[in-house]
Amino acid sequence: MLPTDERFAKLVGAILHDTASGSEHIADAHVVAACTTVDSAIVLTADPDDIAALAAAVPGTRIVTRDPGSPI
């Protein structure tokens, strides 16, 4: 968990702006913003469509799709 302080909130907003995404994608933008704290990150998701566009704004972020019913 990362605190949503002013700096983090502005980062989320910048990701939404840079990808021309609306506030309906705010949860995914939070996930992508968390990826900025490391040099490379993997986002594990069952629904890659929305988050992949947002992840393009953060270099080093990779999306991996998993079926929710599959074992990890």
Q: How confident is the model at residue 47, as a pLDDT?
A: 85
Cα 70 to Cα 58: distance, rounded to the nearest angstrom: 28
Q: Is the dihedral of CA 1, 5, 42, 64 positive or negative?
A: positive
Q: What is the rounded CA–CA span in Å between residue 4 and residue 39?
A: 20
Give pLDDT, residue 72: 64
A 10 A CB-CB count for 56 gives: 14
Average pLDDT over residues 41-47: 88
> By the 8 A CB rule, do 23 and 50 touch?
no
pLDDT for res 37: 82
pLDDT at 5 over 70: yes
The pTM of this model reads 0.82
Could you count the other beta carbons within 10 Å of the beta carbon of residue 43? 20
At residue 69, the pLDDT reads 79
